[in-house]
A and B are shown apart, each in its own frame.
Chain A
Amino acid sequence: GENVEQHPSTLSVQEGDSAVIKCTYSDSASNYFPWYKQELGKRPQLIIDIRSNVGEKKDQRIAVTLNKTAKHFSLHITETQPEDSAVYFCVSSPGASKIIFGSGTRLSIRP
């Protein structure tokens, strides 16, 4: 069936360094790929999204890349700050009526 694999499950980086989280999806019909950030005890919030007609999108320190051929998409956070510490989820929307979240990456920023 459709699935989304997300790696790594945990990631610790030095403040100021970059963080990269990768996802692989299975359904080639997927065409919308958002990323959500969930802080401890809070609700998920969208941080960036990309559609299948675009290969890369950037918003300040956050960027997302998409390789439709390989069915990969990645989140890049540069110049990491303490407030970037959270769990990040990639999402795929296969078919017309379903949403699949990745298993999440717990990002910790070391001071």
Chain B
Amino acid sequence: GAGVSQSPRYKVAKRGQDVALRCDPISGHVSLFWYQQALGQGPEFLTYFQNEAQLDKSGLPSDRFFAERPEGSVSTLKIQRTQQEDSAVYLCASSLEGLDNEQFFGPGTRLTVL
């Protein structure tokens, strides 16, 4: 079946612009995760959804970052007033349920803020 998909794959934004990144998880997967991966680093946890409920958003770097999953399927990560330090690959992953199951990652969105 189809894996996790993300769009756009690449995004270039001018500093101060707002961006929206989309994640389509595997159908039937209850849990959805967002990560930020800087060049040469490991994925950094941002936030976690169980269905439509955002159970943890402690990893979001600032209040400029906002994530939602209104119908418990597709999720959007929004970054307002982008800064250069927001440049990274944003990875989305889904799992059947919970934190103790295999996570299936999407290809990521590479965000470059100029």
Listed in ascending order, the chain A residues whose CB lies under 8 Å from chain B are: 31-32, 34, 43-46, 49, 51, 89, 93, 96-104
CB < 8 Å: which of A34, A97, A102 contacts B42? A102
Extra pairs beyond A34-B103, A98-B59, A103-B41 (5, CB < 8 Å): A97-B99, A99-B99, A101-B45, A102-B42, A104-B41
Contact check, B100 vs A99: say whether CB atoms are below 8 A apart. Answer: no
Number of residue pairs A-B, CB distance < 8 angstroms: 50
| B44 proximal to A (CB < 8 A) | yes
- Given contact pairs A32-B99, A97-B56, A43 touches B107 in the complex (Cβ within 8 A): yes
Listed in ascending order, the chain B residues whose CB lies under 8 Å from chain A are: 33, 35, 41-45, 48, 55-56, 58-59, 91, 99-100, 102-103, 105-108
Contact check, B100 vs A89: say whether CB atoms are below 8 A apart. Answer: no
Contact check, B55 vs A97: say whether CB atoms are below 8 A apart. Answer: yes
| Secondary structure of the A contact surface, majority rule | loop
CA distance A89 to B102 in the complex (A): 14
Contact check, A98 vs B58: say whether CB atoms are below 8 A apart. Answer: yes
Residues of A within 8 A of B106 (CB): 43
Contact check, A43 vs B108: say whether CB atoms are below 8 A apart. Answer: yes
CB B104 to nearest CB in A, in angstroms, measures 8
Contact check, A99 vs B45: say whether CB atoms are below 8 A apart. Answer: yes
Contact check, A98 vs B56: say whether CB atoms are below 8 A apart. Answer: yes
Residues of B within 8 A of A31 (CB): 100
Contact check, A96 vs B42: say whether CB atoms are below 8 A apart. Answer: no
